[in-house]
A = this chain, B = another copy of it.
């Protein structure tokens, strides 16, 4: 799960500390964009990364460059997790589901569409190939699951992609990051199995099964502070 961006900006390799800061910024940017949208203040990203604002600007000349780097990293990680899901799970349906769970973990689907809508130049080669490679891997997972007969035939690429988007965006409100993540995985399981009780006994769904009261206490409907 390294998903690294090459250490170069185009020419000279970065000094070790600079490289470290660059990665911190990229990670912080992903989280902040996910939580606050594509217009989040860059200063917040810098703070979250534990660096000054100038460091961010030195590495990424403007907001668009930062977004582009985040998206690029996201595509590359997507390719990685899709590949390893296919490698690790012999059963094609389970491989697809495994991929979806991993996608929730890296928050890729929550950040990519929100940023892409704001970037002007998508036609650059580096981006196109990263995106193409990722899409190809995911499509292969879906095709495999379809061929095996386990995946509903009318489920398309867009359905899988968009459902992951829906699941990975944080729920509004004051709940903790941990609870949010657990609920995302729980809801993915519900999606996989469906809401209807299964006649031959239900597979047990994991994750926090919150009542109305518990939801109020810790959730998005809670009276804040």
Closest B residue to A219 by beta carbon equals: B158
Q: How far, in Å, is A129 (CB) from chain B's closest CB?
A: 15
Q: In the complex the two chains form, is A163's CB within 8 Å of B187's CB?
A: yes
Tell me how many chains of this kind the complex includes.
Answer: 2
Q: In the complex the two chains form, is B151's CB within 8 Å of A196's CB?
A: yes
Pick the residue among B158, B187, B195 that contacts A151 (CB under 8 A). Answer: B195
Most interface-central of A154, A192, A219 (chain B CB within 10 A): A154
Q: A residues 203-223 with Cβ under 8 Å of B? A: 204-205, 208-212, 214-215, 219-223
> Within 8 Å of chain B (Cβ to Cβ): is A133?
no
By DSSP majority rule, is chain A's interface helix, strand, loop, or mixed? loop
Q: 1/0 per residue A96-140: CB within 8 Å of B? A: 010000000000000011101111101100000000000100010
Pairs A–B under 8 Å by Cβ, sample size 23: A37-B37, A97-B195, A113-B220, A118-B224, A149-B197, A150-B196, A151-B197, A152-B198, A153-B197, A153-B202, A154-B209, A158-B209, A158-B210, A158-B214, A159-B187, A161-B215, A161-B221, A162-B187, A162-B215, A162-B220, A163-B187, A165-B171, A166-B167
Q: A residues 159-180 with Cβ under 8 Å of B? A: 159, 161-163, 165-167, 169, 171-174
Q: In the complex the two chains form, is A186's CB within 8 Å of B167's CB?
A: no
Q: A residues 49-88 with Cβ under 8 Å of B? A: none
Q: How far, in Å, is A174 (CB) from chain B's closest CB?
A: 6
Residues on B with C-beta less than 8 A from A193 are 152, 194, 196
> Within 8 Å of chain B (Cβ to Cβ): is A183?
yes
Q: In the complex the two chains form, is A212's CB within 8 Å of B158's CB?
A: yes
Residues on B with C-beta less than 8 A from A210 are 156-159
Closest B residue to A213 by beta carbon equals: B157
Considering the chains assembled together, what is the distance between the CA atoms of A219 and B135 in angstroms? 15
Q: Which 6 A-B residue pairs are closest in the complex by CB-CB distance?
A: A194-B194, A158-B210, A113-B220, A158-B215, A114-B172, A157-B212
> Within 8 Å of chain B (Cβ to Cβ): is A7?
no
Considering the chains assembled together, what is the distance between the CA atoms of A183 and B165 in angstroms? 12
Residues on B with C-beta less than 8 A from A139 are 212
Considering the chains assembled together, what is the distance between the CA atoms of A163 and B123 in angstroms? 35
